[in-house]
Amino acid sequence: MDDKHDGPLTKDGIRLHSEADFAGMHRAGQVTARILDDIAEHVFPGQTTEELDRLITQMVEASGATSATIGYRGYQHASCISVNHVVCHGIPSNKVLKAGDILNIDVTVILDGWFGDSSRMYVAGEIPRKAERLVQVTYDSLMLGIEAVRPGNTFGDIGHAIQSYVESQRMSVVRDFCGHGLGRVFHAPPNVLHYGRPGTGPRLEEGMFFTIEPMVNLGRPETKVLADDWTAVTRDKSLSAQFEHSIGVTATGFEIFTLSPKGKFHPTWR
């Protein structure tokens, strides 16, 4: 990639982007958000996750973007679909969804070189009250993390906002996976931790692009990766949920690139 037009790097190796770059990220993020809107009606008991992935693959093609995950480190699908106690990186399969399942669908596209990375929770049929609470707390923790984004705050402030809220609800934050810088690359510095202490970590500056993508468990935070080398599950088999947005730091706060065009980010709004 010719990077003579790229903005400067901070001392922590975090790229600072221009106003034109924000527009590119907004367009890529909106393609991802539209796909996450449009897949919602296809989630129901009896559906398979590989059929959902097939539909997502078609939607990516129809959008004029390309999938960032097909071919990424040998991954072969346009989405990760993580059901119940799967924390992240669930591989679409012929396994059938059943009533009461909760699932995260994570899609990343590349449009004109810019990456749009987002995930949301979906539900199959009626779900138990404790699953509903987990999904709500996870969503709220992402939004509290985003509200801590403004120049002068630090990445530790984001992590602290998420962790303190989740733990106040007697749930736990996964430590083994984190958010990441992105832009014209999928995964760039910094690691965006979903736990931390106020005032620690790199300082946020206008023009930084990154994801926030907290994974929250009803039980303990520990995870393990299955023999397929992708699927991460909770060690104690407790339910796990995740939401992810791609955002940019503006002069006064943040811009969310992956906001739902239909206002459907939250599963109960479909």
- Rule CB under 6 A: which residues touch ligand MF3? 69, 72-73, 75, 80, 89, 106, 108, 117, 211, 213, 244
| Cβ–Cβ < 8 Å for 161, 147 | yes
Q: Which of 21, 101, 117, 157 binds Co ion (CB under 5 A)?
A: 117
Query: In angstroms, rounded to a whole number, what is the distance separating the alpha carbons of residues 1 and 243?
Result: 30
Query: In angstroms, rounded to a whole number, what is the distance separating the alpha carbons of residues 172 and 222?
Result: 9
Is the CB of 85 or the CB of 89 nearer to ligand MF3? 89
Number of residues counted as binding Co ion (CB under 5 A): 5
**Residue 80 interacting partner from ligand MF3, Co ion, none (CB closer than 5 to 8 Å by kind):** ligand MF3
**Residue 89 interacting partner from ligand MF3, Co ion, none (CB closer than 5 to 8 Å by kind):** ligand MF3
Is the CB of 205 or the CB of 229 nearer to ligand MF3? 229
Residues 239-258 that bind Co ion (CB under 5 A): 244
Contact pattern for Co ion over residues 156 through 195, marking x by CB under 5 A: ----------------------------------------
Strand partners, 232: 88, 225
Is the CB of 127 or the CB of 180 nearer to ligand MF3? 180
37 binds Co ion (CB under 5 A): no
Query: In angstroms, rounded to a whole number, what is the distance separating the alpha carbons of residues 114 and 204?
Result: 21
CB of 192 to Co ion, least distance (A): 9
CB of 232 to ligand MF3, least distance (A): 10
CB of 234 to Co ion, least distance (A): 18
Helix 49-63, helix 19-39: angle, nearest 10? 140
CB of 259 to ligand MF3, least distance (A): 17
CA 232 to chain CA mean position, Å: 15
211 binds Co ion (CB under 5 A): yes
CB of 268 to ligand MF3, least distance (A): 23
Q: Which of 56, 106, 162, 190 binds Co ion (CB under 5 A)?
A: 106
Contact pattern for Co ion over residues 55 through 94, marking x by CB under 5 A: ----------------------------------------
Is the CB of 59 or the CB of 127 nearer to ligand MF3? 59
Is the CB of 37 or the CB of 117 nearer to Co ion? 117
- Binding residues for Co ion (CB under 5 A): 106, 117, 119, 211, 244
